[in-house]
């Protein structure tokens, strides 16, 4: 994890962008605690780093990584609560990582993409996920009401 922290503090746009993506997909609470403790250092180090991005600003990945660390630090809620806040959480990747199970898949209305039903493997929250495309594939997550 030292390399990941070094990348976040490096001020190198490619290293910062790559490390942001890694932070967005971390679930280990001990590791997240370490990064959350250094959140201020990382924010200061990346304040003026230009990350680029043509269609979707790469700074959004960095901002979301920071938001996720603050959420972890400030709450004890399951991290799946943040799925609806980020368009890049791919349900297939999340299932492969053991974070969700994909329960249903059906064609989306309108012809492109899929509607996916998922369940968080940690807390049991169920989600409706809409896979869509507009210059890139994105996923809209919506938590479903708990039954019973």
Q: How much is the pLDDT for 72? A: 97
Q: How far apart are CA 142 and CA 112, in angstroms?
A: 19
Query: What's the pTM?
Result: 0.90
Return the structure tokens found at 6: 């070094």
**Is residue 1's pLDDT more than 80?**
no
- For residue 32, the surrounding DSSP H or E stretch is helix 29-37
- For residue 92, the surrounding DSSP H or E stretch is helix 91-96
Q: How much is the pLDDT for 10? A: 95
Phi-psi region of 39 (alpha: psi -120 to 50; beta: other; left: phi over 0): alpha
Q: What is the DSSP letter of 16?
A: H
Mean pLDDT computed over 33-62: 88
Tens-place pLDDT, residues 66-121: 999 999 999 989 999 999 999 999 999 999 999 999 999 999 887 778 999 999 99
Q: Per-domain residue ranges for the chain?
A: 2-74, 79-143
């Amino acid at each position: 994890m030292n390399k990941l922290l070094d990348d976040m503090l490096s001020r190198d746009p490619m290293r910062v962008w790559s490390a942001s993506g890694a932070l967005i997909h971390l679930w280990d609470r001990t590791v997240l605690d370490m990064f959350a403790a250094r959140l201020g250092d990382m924010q200061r180090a990346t304040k003026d780093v230009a990350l680029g991005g043509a269609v979707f600003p790469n700074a959004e990945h960095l901002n979301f990584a920071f938001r996720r660390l603050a959420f972890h630090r400030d709450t004890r809620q399951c991290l799946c609560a943040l799925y609806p806040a980020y368009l890049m959480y791919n349900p297939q990747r999340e299932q492969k990582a053991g974070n969700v199970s994909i329960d249903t898949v059906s064609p989306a209305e309108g012809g492109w993409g899929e509607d996916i039903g998922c369940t968080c493997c940690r807390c049991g929250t169920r989600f409706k996920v809409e896979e869509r495309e507009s210059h890139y594939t994105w996923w809209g997550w919506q938590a479903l009401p708990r039954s019973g």
